């Protein structure tokens, strides 16, 4: 994984910071009503999605909350295929993540690869707790969560299971990376 000016590159994908200009293409990616079975709502028109992206680009109205949003581009097809997002709180120590992949691109490991990259980036940037909420019947999303290192908890919030990953602090008290078990 590499980053370049906000873009995160994986083996097959570019996670590109979400912009209003992505609304037209993303309206098509997210147009299948079946996609909304577990995430709720209905497909938005390009103008509605543009308005939503303008709100997201403006940032959270709460200064203690940071919104990070990317569109997922499959380089081999030069097409947008979905989104990943994170909401950071507690000075970036807690990150709530979500992913969505258009039905045309599902089953190809795109959501898994994008979620893994997102979670790795958040951990690198100091997030200690990564959280996702997955509908109990959404087995594909649960598979993505598990592959990204999250585990289900016994907490249910708004009908969805809370999944978590605790990220160990990789720095010792000297501020240098911890490279193995302490000797003694």
Q: How far apart are CA 33 and CA 30, in angstroms?
A: 8
Give the bridge partners for 130, in sequence order: 95, 165
Say yes or no to pLDDT of 161 above 80: yes
| C-alpha dihedral sign at 59, 60, 64, 70 | negative
**pLDDT tens column, 44-72:** 999 999 999 999 999 999 999 999 999 99
Question: What is the share, in percent, of the chain residues with pLDDT greater than 90?
Answer: 84
**What does R_g of the chain's alpha carbons equal in angstroms?**
17
Please give the model's pTM, rounded to 2 decimal places: 0.87
Give the closest residue to 134 by CA, choosing from 34, 43, 38.
38
Question: What is the share, in percent, of the chain residues with pLDDT greater than 70?
Answer: 89
pLDDT of residue 176: 40
pLDDT of residue 1: 56
| Least-confidence region, from 108-112, 138-142, 179-183 | 179-183
DSSP the chain: -EEETTEEE-SSEEEEE--GGGHHHHHHHT--GGGGTTT-S-PPPHHHHHHHHHHHHH--SSTT-EEEEEEEEETTTTEEEEEEEEEEETTTTEEEEEEEE-GGGTTSSHHHHHHHHHHHHHHHTT-SEEEEEE-TT-HHHHHHHHHTT-EEEEEEETTEEEEEEE----B-TTSSBP-SPPP-
Say yes or no to pLDDT of 114 above 70: yes
Say yes or no to pLDDT of 184 above 90: no
């Amino acid at each position: 994984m590499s980053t370049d000016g906000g873009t995160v590159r994986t083996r097959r994908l570019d996670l590109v910071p979400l912009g209003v200009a992505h609304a037209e293409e993303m309206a098509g990616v997210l147009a299948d009503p079946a996609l909304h079975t577990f995430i709720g709502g209905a497909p938005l028109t390009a103008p509605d999605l543009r308005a939503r992206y303008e709100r997201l680009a403006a940032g959270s109205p709460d200064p203690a909350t940071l919104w990070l949003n990317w569109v997922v581009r499959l380089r081999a097809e030069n097409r947008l295929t979905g989104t990943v997002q994170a909401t950071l709180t507690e000075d970036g120590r807690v990150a709530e993540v979500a992913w969505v992949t258009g039905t045309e691109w599902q089953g190809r490991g795109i959501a898994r690869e994008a979620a893994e990259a997102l979670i790795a980036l958040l951990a690198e940037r100091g997030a200690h707790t990564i959280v996702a909420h997955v509908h109990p019947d959404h087995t594909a999303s649960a598979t993505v969560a598990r592959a990204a290192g999250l585990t289900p908890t016994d907490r249910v919030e708004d009908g969805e299971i809370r999944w978590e990953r605790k990220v160990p602090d990789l720095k010792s008290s000297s501020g240098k990376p911890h490279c193995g078990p302490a000797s003694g």
